[in-house]
């Protein structure tokens, strides 16, 4: 997978960089059901640590399969959820992808945040915008 393709695995949702369990499965060469089980295991942690985290790291959602048009579940996760999930993956390929994916997540988040527009609030700010 090229660097551009890896960057496309991260998208900004409600101002936060996110990815999905299907995208993680694709990048790490795992079956999606294996990734779902790993997230389910994290979510059902005996102490409930992940569920009580201030910002939800995982949000369950559905997608429609492009071939059979049926609904299936997936998880959308933020950077913390991603990091927690893939920290359990092992092997050289996993290590390489973890390091690259984290770097790309951070780069994409920074790039997307820089693209946010400045909205003038005061009359003075609005007048300065008109001059440019």
How far out from the chain centre does Cα 57 lie? 9
**5 token code pair:** 């393709």
Query: Is this model's pTM higher than 0.85 or not?
Result: no
DSSP label of 119: -
Tens-digit pLDDT profile for residues 87-131 = 888 877 778 877 887 888 888 888 877 776 656 667 776 666 665
User: In terms of residues, how long is the chain?
Assistant: 132
Where do runs of H (alpha helix) occur along the chain?
Answer: 3-7, 21-28, 32-43, 79-86, 92-114, 123-131
* Dist. CA 12–CA 89, nearest whole Å: 24
Tens-digit pLDDT profile for residues 12-25 = 888 889 999 999 99
pLDDT tops 50 at residue 35:
yes
**108 token code pair:** 């994409």
């Amino acid at each position: 997978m090229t660097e551009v393709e890896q960057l496309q695995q991260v998208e900004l949702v409600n101002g936060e960089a996110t990815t999905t369990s299907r995208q993680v499965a694709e990048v790490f060469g795992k079956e999606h059901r294996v990734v779902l089980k790993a997230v389910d295991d994290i979510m059902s942690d005996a102490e409930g640590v992940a569920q009580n985290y201030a910002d939800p790291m995982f949000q369950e959602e559905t997608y429609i399969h492009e071939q059979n048009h049926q609904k299936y579940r997936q998880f959308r996760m933020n950077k913390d959820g991603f990091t927690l999930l893939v920290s359990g993956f092992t092997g050289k390929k996993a290590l390489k992808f973890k390091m690259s994916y984290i770097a790309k997540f951070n780069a994409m988040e920074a790039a997307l945040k820089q693209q946010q527009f400045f909205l003038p609030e005061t009359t003075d700010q609005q007048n300065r915008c008109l001059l440019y």
